Structure formats: structure tokens, C-alpha cells
């Protein structure tokens, strides 16, 4: 995803915590930043799958 494009469309959803959340994903090896894009790693996709499953079960 391109961070600037995503922020323009959905930035309000993250609110002021968006930068901290992105940094935490990178620090934990779940994402990296490449050419201004936040890119999920394999671990990041596994986390996304866990979140999706939990939301679907709720």
C-alpha cells in the first residue's frame, strides 16, 4: 500500500496513532517501508489473518 494514498483515503481511521502503529509493525518485523509504502512481511500477513479470523468469529 502506498502510505500517502492510503492516508488521503483512510487516514482518519488511524487517527494520531497511525505513525506509532506503523513504526511498531516495522520494529516487530511485521512490516517494512519501501518507497513510501508500508509492506507487510510474512509475519505481518499472519497477524492480519489472525485479526481477520477473530473479527469474523465475533
- For the chain, the domains span 3-57
End-to-end CA distance of the chain: 27
Its pTM stands at: 0.65
Q: Over 70: is that where the pLDDT of 49 sits?
A: yes
Are 25 and 38 in contact, with CB atoms under 8 Å apart? Answer: yes
Residues of the chain with pLDDT > 90, as a percent, come to 40
Any idea which of 7-11, 25-29, 46-50, 53-57 has the lowest mean pLDDT? 7-11
In whole angstroms, how far apart are CA 17 and each of 9, 12, 53? Answer: 16, 10, 24
Contacts of 47 (CB under 8 A, 6+ apart): 30
Amino acid at each position: 500500500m502506498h502510505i500517502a494514498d492510503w492516508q488521503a483515503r483512510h487516514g482518519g481511521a488511524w487517527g494520531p496513532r497511525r505513525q506509532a502503529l506503523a513504526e511498531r509493525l516495522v520494529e516487530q518485523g511485521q512490516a517494512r517501508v519501501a518507497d513510501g509504502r508500508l509492506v507487510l512481511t510474512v509475519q505481518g500477513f499472519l497477524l492480519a489473518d489472525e485479526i481477520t479470523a477473530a473479527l469474523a468469529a465475533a
